[in-house]
Amino acid sequence: MPSSDAFRVVFVCTGNICRSPMAEVVLRHLATTAGLGDRIVSTSAGTGDWHVGERADRRTVEALQRRGYDGSLHRARQFSTSDFQANDLVVALDRTHERILRTWARTEDDRDKITLLLAFDPEATVRDVPDPYYDDDAAFDEVLGMIERSGRALFRQLEPALRPRS
């Protein structure tokens, strides 16, 4: 169970059934594996409401399973302006989401929480995680690989601050 002072991250994509659920699951897995599952809360949301209440796309769940993750419990939801207050970091999966989030931000503090996922990966040659929705299974695997690399880089930045002080 997360502690009340846990660091809270929300990942945001379009419909919350492909990219952002992958990122949510990957970061949660990294935190749990490092023994910090109670120090970080990883959630996700979409900018649109088309899939609210639905499970993650079948191909998302299958790509996650192939890499040893469980995405079966995910239910899509839409990002709300209250998510700015509820989270310490708002991570957009592409620049379109980032622009939308910036228009929804009410304060400078809200805007300061917004970043792109691939900004954490120093080796990324692109800024946007591509949407695999209209593509094949291989695209989901490729997108998951991008998310894993960036998720590990994000976690490496967060981990020192999350470790309990001795």
Residues designated catalytic: 13, 19, 131
Triad 65, 75, 156: Cα angle to 5°: 60
48 token code pair:
């649109």
Q: Are 39 and 162 in contact (CB under 8 A)?
A: yes
The one-letter code for the residue type at 80 is S
Alpha-carbon gap, residue 93 to 99, rounded angstroms:
11
98 token code pair:
């980032």
Backbone conformation region of residue 53, classed left if phi is above 0, alpha if psi is from -120 to 50, else beta: left
96 token code pair:
């379109």
Alpha-carbon gap, residue 133 to 124, rounded angstroms:
21
